């Protein structure tokens, strides 16, 4: 089935992320000077303002920091409502906003803050694999 949702445009500073995603790897920017992993990708470390950055392969593991059920949605996502968005606490540090999979938006009481999640990638086109996160068992 064709991917019908908006596809992010790739920039030169996010290329390592998208190249990793093609191989099922969650690539994350890390500051060489202060060792802080940050998300989203930037040209400068948000912790110490160094420009000495590198990309590391993340574990693809995290936990739900918080979530919201999206009922009233406009645009291309409207056909998918209700769905659950969440901030994921990455194992390596910082947070990533995602659409959460493996949960029932009609039963938000079954979704737990702190639940373990794992990243997965859905192919959107030849060059783009979109990260989503799914609740997994402990
Ligand atoms: Zn830094």
The reply to whether 6 falls in a domain is no
Give the Å distance between the CA of 4 and the centre of ligand 1: 37
The reply to whether 42 falls in a domain is yes
The domain tally of the chain equals: 1
The reply to whether 5 falls in a domain is no
Give the Å distance between the CA of 35 and the centre of ligand 1: 6
The reply to whether 48 falls in a domain is yes
CA-angle at 10, arms to 8 and 11, nearest 5°: 135
Query: What range does the domain containing 60 cover?
Result: 13-135
Give the Å distance between the CA of 45 and the centre of ligand 1: 5
Give the Å distance between the CA of 44 and the centre of ligand 1: 8
Give the Å distance between the CA of 122 and the centre of ligand 1: 31
Query: pLDDT of the chain along its 138 residues, tens only?
Result: 688 898 999 988 899 999 999 999 999 999 999 999 999 999 999 999 999 999 999 999 999 999 999 999 999 999 999 999 999 999 999 999 999 999 999 999 999 999 999 999 999 999 999 999 999 987
pTM above 0.85, yes or no: yes
**CA 67 to centroid of chain Cα atoms:** 13
Element spanning 103, H or E = none
Instruction: Tell me the pairing of strands 95-101 and 83-90.
Output: antiparallel
Yes or no: say if 65 and 88 are a contact pair by the CB < 8 Å rule: yes
């Amino acid at each position: 089935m064709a991917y019908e949702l908006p596809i992010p445009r790739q920039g030169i500073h996010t290329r390592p992320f998208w190249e990793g995603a093609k191989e099922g790897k969650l690539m994350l920017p890390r500051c060489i000077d202060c060792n802080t992993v940050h998300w989203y990708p930037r040209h400068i470390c948000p912790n110490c303002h160094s420009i000495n950055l590198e990309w590391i392969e993340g574990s693809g593991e995290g936990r739900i920091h918080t979530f919201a059920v999206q009922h009233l949605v406009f645009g291309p996502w409207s056909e998918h409502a209700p769905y659950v968005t969440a901030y994921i606490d990455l194992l390596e540090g910082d947070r990533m906003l995602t659409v959460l999979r493996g949960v029932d938006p009609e039963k938000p009481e079954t979704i737990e803050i702190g639940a373990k999640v794992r990243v997965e990638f859905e192919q959107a086109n030849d060059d783009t694999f979109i990260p989503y996160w799914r609740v997994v068992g402990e």
